[in-house]
Structure 1
Amino acid sequence: MRIELVTGDITTEDVDAVVNAANSSLLGGGGVDGAIHRRGGPAILEECRALRASKFGRGLPVGQAVATTAGRLPARWVIHTVGPVFSTDEDRAPLLRSCYTSSLAVAAGLGAQSVAFPLISSGVYRWPKEDAVVQALAALRTGPAAVQTVRLVLFDEATRRTAERVFQADRD
């Protein structure tokens, strides 16, 4: 699997699947979640409502992933995953890594060969960016061979530079 680090807007990524850092309701929100729902249009929300009405009545659990249409996005699918809120009192890193591995498993099941991820939990869920990159890369490197390209789409240049430093240090 090839891992790419880019700065950009995940809603414009031309990949098979984009990952949404969703909230457990699956009904949209702020940040990446709101952007994906706005740009992708009502078809995403319609499928999320159907998921809530069927097997996710209490919401999508943290660390799990589920797919919907991508609506008007360039991708074919949106894979929704709920990241953990950062805590200094509890090690939630396994849950954060599970967001990536669960999303990759869903992507492989769909036949997706390319997937774009945001840096999950690093926004309003306050996960420190450097450690969020460490956790993301640890999980992504164990992904299924069926997914050939993973793109970590970072919100700004400072975060991309941090990600590049962590990526390089991990390779050395």
Structure 2
Amino acid sequence: MNRIKIVKGDITKVKVDAIVNAANSSLMGGGGVDGAIHRAGGPEILEDCRAIVARQGGCKTGEAVITRAGNLPAKYVIHTVGPVWNNGKKNEEALLANCYFNSLTLAANNDVKSIAFPNISTGIYHFPKDLAARIAIETIAVFLEKIFIPDEIILVCFDDENLEYTNHYYNQYYS
């Protein structure tokens, strides 16, 4: 499936219509990819996030919201809140799948042709990287069977371990 690409790199440098931010529920920036996106994008992202918080009080786990991208080489940032891993006892797998599905739905509704995802929840939220990669690939594949945009999905892996698992499940799913 040539609509999905897997790369190792820095998501803040990827030139796409939208990048996905693994945000926290406050939408105010934080550590990891969330902090990097807010720093690279500048104050416009935080301004839009504050407006969303004022309107709806943040973003729940598994949900997604969209903002401008500020100084990033993208038009939009789609912020999604991944689940904190709790030994699989708090519906974490379904919540992570919702992150991908809701981000893709928001992208399609905003005519996003290209989108880049980080490895959601695999950092400080401690979601097992192998399980997270499988959920990402399966959720994206099911979405693409029904909806024909975006045209390009880039899975941007920050480290070798995420890259290895993501490639493994992609090859397993599409072989």
Establish whether TM, by shorter chain, passes 0.5.
Answer: yes
Query: Deviation of residue 91 (structure 1)?
Result: 3.4
1:14-45 deviation digits (Å, cap 9, x = unpaired): 00000000000000000010000000000000
User: Unaligned 5+ residue runs, structure 1?
Assistant: none
Q: Aligned equivalents of 2:6 and 2:132: distance in 1?
A: 14
In the aligned structure 2, how far is the partner of 1:130 from the partner of 1:77?
A: 28
In 2, the alpha carbon distance for the partners of 1:117 and 1:66 equals 14
Deviation at 1:146, TM superposition (A): 1.8
Question: Partner of 1:107 in structure 2?
Answer: 107
- Structure 2: stretches of 5+ with no match in the other structure: none
Would you say the 8 A contact 2:137–2:166 is kept in 1? no
- Read off the aligned partner of 1:135 and give its amino acid letter: I
- Residue 8 of structure 2 aligns with which residue? 7
CA–CA distance in structure 1, aligned partners of residues 26 and 90 of structure 2: 23
Q: Distance in 2 between matches of 1:153 and 1:108?
A: 19
TM, length-normalised to structure 2 = 0.93
- Tell me the alpha carbon deviations over residues 104-147 of structure 1, each in whole angstroms, 9 at most, x when there is no partner: 01001111010000010100110010100000011111222121
Aligned ranges for residues 1-172 of structure 1 at < 5 Å?
A: 2-55=3-56, 57=57, 59-88=58-87, 89-143=89-143, 144-172=147-175
2: CA distance between counterparts of 1:22 and 1:91?
A: 18
Q: Which runs of 4+ in 1 moved over 6 A?
A: none
Q: How many residues align?
A: 170
User: For the aligned residues, what is the CA RMSD?
Assistant: 1.1
Shift of 1:159: 2.1
Calculate percent identity across the aligned residue pairs.
Answer: 49
